[in-house]
Structure 1
Amino acid sequence: MEVTCEVVGEATETVTVGSEATYGDLIERLGYSMHEATVLVDGTPVPEDAPVETDRVRVLRLIKGGRWG
Protein backbone atom coordinates (compact mmCIF):
# COMPACT_ATOMS: atom_id res chain seq x y z
CA MET A 1 0.00 0.00 0.00
CA GLU A 2 1.25 3.48 -0.84
CA VAL A 3 0.58 6.18 1.75
CA THR A 4 1.03 9.89 1.05
CA CYS A 5 2.45 11.49 4.20
CA GLU A 6 2.34 15.26 4.60
CA VAL A 7 4.86 16.23 7.27
CA VAL A 8 3.33 19.46 8.58
CA GLY A 9 5.50 22.47 7.78
CA GLU A 10 7.99 20.40 5.80
CA ALA A 11 7.47 18.09 2.83
CA THR A 12 5.11 15.47 1.41
CA GLU A 13 6.45 11.99 0.85
CA THR A 14 4.91 8.76 -0.44
CA VAL A 15 5.81 5.65 1.56
CA THR A 16 5.13 2.03 0.65
CA VAL A 17 4.09 -0.18 3.57
CA GLY A 18 2.93 -3.77 3.89
CA SER A 19 -0.63 -4.83 4.63
CA GLU A 20 0.19 -5.42 8.32
CA ALA A 21 1.84 -2.01 8.86
CA THR A 22 0.94 0.20 11.80
CA TYR A 23 1.06 3.98 12.05
CA GLY A 24 4.17 3.53 14.20
CA ASP A 25 5.81 1.69 11.30
CA LEU A 26 4.89 4.61 9.06
CA ILE A 27 6.56 7.11 11.43
CA GLU A 28 9.73 5.00 11.48
CA ARG A 29 9.77 4.71 7.67
CA LEU A 30 9.78 8.52 7.55
CA GLY A 31 12.86 8.56 9.77
CA TYR A 32 11.26 9.73 13.01
CA SER A 33 10.81 8.04 16.36
CA MET A 34 7.37 7.67 17.91
CA HIS A 35 8.49 10.11 20.62
CA GLU A 36 8.97 12.94 18.15
CA ALA A 37 6.00 12.60 15.78
CA THR A 38 2.36 11.57 15.65
CA VAL A 39 0.08 10.64 12.76
CA LEU A 40 -3.20 12.46 12.10
CA VAL A 41 -6.01 10.94 10.04
CA ASP A 42 -8.75 13.43 9.17
CA GLY A 43 -7.25 15.79 11.77
CA THR A 44 -7.42 13.24 14.61
CA PRO A 45 -4.36 11.57 16.19
CA VAL A 46 -4.29 7.79 15.75
CA PRO A 47 -2.60 5.22 18.04
CA GLU A 48 0.83 4.14 16.89
CA ASP A 49 -0.17 0.47 17.12
CA ALA A 50 -3.30 0.86 14.96
CA PRO A 51 -3.15 -0.65 11.46
CA VAL A 52 -2.74 1.74 8.53
CA GLU A 53 -6.17 1.99 6.90
CA THR A 54 -5.88 5.11 4.73
CA ASP A 55 -3.73 6.26 1.85
CA ARG A 56 -3.22 9.85 3.06
CA VAL A 57 -2.07 11.10 6.47
CA ARG A 58 -0.55 14.17 8.09
CA VAL A 59 2.49 13.74 10.32
CA LEU A 60 2.95 16.27 13.10
CA ARG A 61 6.44 16.58 14.53
CA LEU A 62 6.20 17.04 18.27
CA ILE A 63 9.90 17.80 18.77
CA LYS A 64 11.90 19.94 16.44
CA GLY A 65 15.56 20.93 16.69
CA GLY A 66 16.42 24.32 18.05
CA ARG A 67 18.89 26.30 20.00
CA TRP A 68 18.76 27.45 23.59
CA GLY A 69 19.99 30.84 24.66
Structure 2
Amino acid sequence: MDVTVEVAGEGTHELTVGGDATYADLVAQLDLSPHEVSVVVDDRTVPTDQPVDADHVRVVRLIKGG
Protein backbone atom coordinates (compact mmCIF):
# COMPACT_ATOMS: atom_id res chain seq x y z
CA MET A 1 0.00 0.00 0.00
CA ASP A 2 1.28 3.47 -0.87
CA VAL A 3 0.84 6.07 1.86
CA THR A 4 1.49 9.81 1.86
CA VAL A 5 2.86 10.81 5.25
CA GLU A 6 2.97 14.47 6.23
CA VAL A 7 5.28 15.14 9.16
CA ALA A 8 3.97 18.41 10.61
CA GLY A 9 6.39 21.24 9.93
CA GLU A 10 8.96 18.94 8.31
CA GLY A 11 7.66 17.81 4.92
CA THR A 12 5.86 15.02 3.12
CA HIS A 13 7.03 11.49 2.35
CA GLU A 14 5.68 8.84 -0.01
CA LEU A 15 6.05 5.42 1.64
CA THR A 16 5.09 1.87 0.75
CA VAL A 17 4.03 -0.58 3.46
CA GLY A 18 2.92 -4.20 3.47
CA GLY A 19 -0.67 -5.25 3.94
CA ASP A 20 -0.16 -6.14 7.60
CA ALA A 21 1.76 -2.97 8.55
CA THR A 22 0.78 -0.89 11.57
CA TYR A 23 1.14 2.84 12.01
CA ALA A 24 4.18 2.10 14.21
CA ASP A 25 5.79 0.38 11.20
CA LEU A 26 5.02 3.45 9.10
CA VAL A 27 6.57 5.78 11.68
CA ALA A 28 9.65 3.55 11.93
CA GLN A 29 10.31 4.06 8.21
CA LEU A 30 10.74 7.76 9.05
CA ASP A 31 13.31 6.94 11.78
CA LEU A 32 10.86 8.13 14.44
CA SER A 33 9.72 6.31 17.55
CA PRO A 34 5.99 5.75 18.08
CA HIS A 35 6.57 7.12 21.59
CA GLU A 36 7.54 10.56 20.27
CA VAL A 37 4.68 11.11 17.80
CA SER A 38 0.93 11.14 17.38
CA VAL A 39 -0.53 9.73 14.19
CA VAL A 40 -3.56 11.55 12.79
CA VAL A 41 -5.97 10.19 10.17
CA ASP A 42 -8.99 12.25 9.08
CA ASP A 43 -8.40 14.70 11.96
CA ARG A 44 -8.48 11.87 14.54
CA THR A 45 -5.58 10.40 16.49
CA VAL A 46 -5.12 6.68 15.86
CA PRO A 47 -3.22 4.12 17.95
CA THR A 48 0.17 3.19 16.51
CA ASP A 49 -0.60 -0.53 16.88
CA GLN A 50 -3.59 -0.21 14.54
CA PRO A 51 -3.18 -1.57 10.98
CA VAL A 52 -2.61 1.08 8.32
CA ASP A 53 -5.92 1.69 6.54
CA ALA A 54 -5.47 5.20 5.14
CA ASP A 55 -3.56 6.54 2.17
CA HIS A 56 -2.86 9.93 3.79
CA VAL A 57 -1.50 10.26 7.32
CA ARG A 58 -0.28 13.21 9.36
CA VAL A 59 2.43 12.67 11.96
CA VAL A 60 2.86 15.23 14.74
CA ARG A 61 6.12 15.09 16.68
CA LEU A 62 5.56 15.49 20.42
CA ILE A 63 9.27 15.47 21.30
CA LYS A 64 12.00 17.13 19.27
CA GLY A 65 15.62 17.77 20.06
CA GLY A 66 17.58 16.58 23.05
If the length of structure 2 is used for normalisation, what is the TM-score?
A: 0.94
Q: How many residues align?
A: 66
Larger-gyration structure (1/2): 1
Give the equivalent residue in structure 1 for 2:49. 49
Give the equivalent residue in structure 2 for 1:13. 13
The structural deviation recorded for 1:24 is 0.7
* Cα displacement string for residues 22-63 of structure 1 (whole angstroms, at most 9, x for unaligned residues): 011111111100111121001111011111001000000010
Amino-acid identity (%): 58
Paired residue secondary structure (1:25): helix
5+ unaligned residues in a row in structure 2: which ranges?
Answer: none
Structure with greater strand share of residues: 2
Is structure 2 residue 36 aligned with structure 1 residue 36? yes
Partners of 2:45 and 2:29 in 1: CA distance: 18
5+ unaligned residues in a row in structure 1: which ranges?
Answer: none
If the length of structure 1 is used for normalisation, what is the TM-score?
A: 0.90
| Contact 1:27 1:38 (C-alpha < 8 Å) held by counterparts | no
Give the equivalent residue in structure 1 for 2:58. 58
RMSD across aligned positions (CA): 0.9
